[in-house]
């Protein structure tokens, strides 16, 4: 049972970690891809729930609707900027996005007065130093495209809002929550796509196929595998294995697309990943 859950979780993370690779070959705008991902992903999950004959708890959705809508908007915000960052560099955009867990800890301590231990404080400092190294504050790191840092950081902001909202959701099924969030992300992104005229002027076969893959496989299937596995695995296993995604993004960026981040960037990347991982492992441990 646990081994099967581990495989499903790793499969989901692998799908998440290869989104940037697929996006590289799609000619459509990031906003349009996000729109399609929300549509096809929610459609797939709805079909799965129908196949399971699982009725949607409308009352739970109604009670949590405000938070669901805000978190869904934040999800769309995260995807739009992360995908935009992927256009300029998968590794850096992903690493900046993974500052989000550290930011959540800081906000929780300052705003919600949640206690953090010394090990978490060390992890926060490590992450900050890693970020400064990554963006070249301590030297002229010409290998870094600043747009990756900007877009990745904005994506992290969306992820932070998503996490903080999800913490307050009560008594709602994970997949039902995901459907509403995906649909909400569509509602937010659609007007932007129309106003910015981001709809494709023409549709090419390769891009269309890849968008369908991102929608059904990397969203629908990935979410099913993810949520069906985290109920079985321990929190520590989820935290440790979860960092397959940014590591995979860095590897794909370096090997497949020949992205260079320099020596200081590599050190910064390692510090960010270790800090985020350490924060998960040491949380609530005194």
- Give residue limits of the domains in the chain: 2-282
Q: How many CB atoms lie within 10 A of CB 209?
A: 13
pLDDT at 284 over 60: no
Structure tokens at 50: 């129908």
- Regarding pTM above 0.85, the answer is yes
Owner of token pair 């949520």: 227
List, for residues 227-275, the tens digit of each pLDDT value: 989 878 876 677 778 878 888 888 898 889 988 877 888 888 888 888 8
Predicted pLDDT of residue 235: 67
* Paired tokens of 180: 């509403």
| Ramachandran angles phi, psi of 141, nearest 5° | -90, 85
* CA 228 – CA 211 distance, rounded (Å): 24
Closest of 54, 33, 35, 82 to residue 228, by C-alpha: 54
């Amino acid at each position: 049972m646990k081994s099967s859950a581990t495989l499903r979780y790793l499969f989901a993370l692998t799908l998440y970690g290869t989104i940037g690779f697929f996006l590289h070959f799609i000619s459509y705008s990031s906003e349009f891809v996000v729109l399609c991902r929300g549509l096809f992903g929610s459609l797939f999950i709805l079909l799965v729930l129908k196949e399971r004959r699982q009725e949607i708890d409308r009352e739970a959705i109604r009670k949590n609707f405000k938070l669901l809508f805000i978190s869904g908007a934040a999800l769309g915000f995260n995807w739009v900027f992360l995908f935009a960052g992927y256009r300029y560099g998968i590794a850096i955009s992903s690493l900046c996005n993974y500052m989000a867990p550290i930011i959540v800890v800081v906000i929780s301590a300052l705003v919600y007065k949640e206690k953090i231990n010394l090990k978490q404080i060390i992890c926060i400092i490590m992450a900050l130093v890693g970020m400064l190294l990554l963006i070249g504050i301590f030297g002229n790191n010409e290998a870094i495209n600043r747009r990756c840092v900007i877009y990745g950081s904005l994506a992290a902001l969306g992820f932070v809002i998503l996490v903080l909202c999800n913490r307050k959701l009560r008594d709602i099924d994970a997949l039902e929550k995901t459907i509403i969030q995906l649909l909400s992300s569509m509602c937010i992104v659609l007007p932007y796509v129309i106003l910015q005229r981001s709809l494709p002027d023409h549709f090419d076969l390769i891009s269309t196929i890849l968008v369908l893959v991102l929608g059904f496989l990397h969203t629908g299937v990935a979410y099913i595998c993810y949520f069906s596995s985290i109920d079985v695995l321990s929190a520590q296993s989820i935290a440790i294995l979860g960092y397959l995604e940014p590591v995979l993004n860095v590897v794909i960026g370096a090997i497949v697309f020949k992205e260079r981040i320099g020596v200081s960037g590599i050190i910064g990347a390692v510090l960010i990943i270790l800090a985020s991982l350490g924060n998960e492992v040491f949380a609530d441990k005194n």
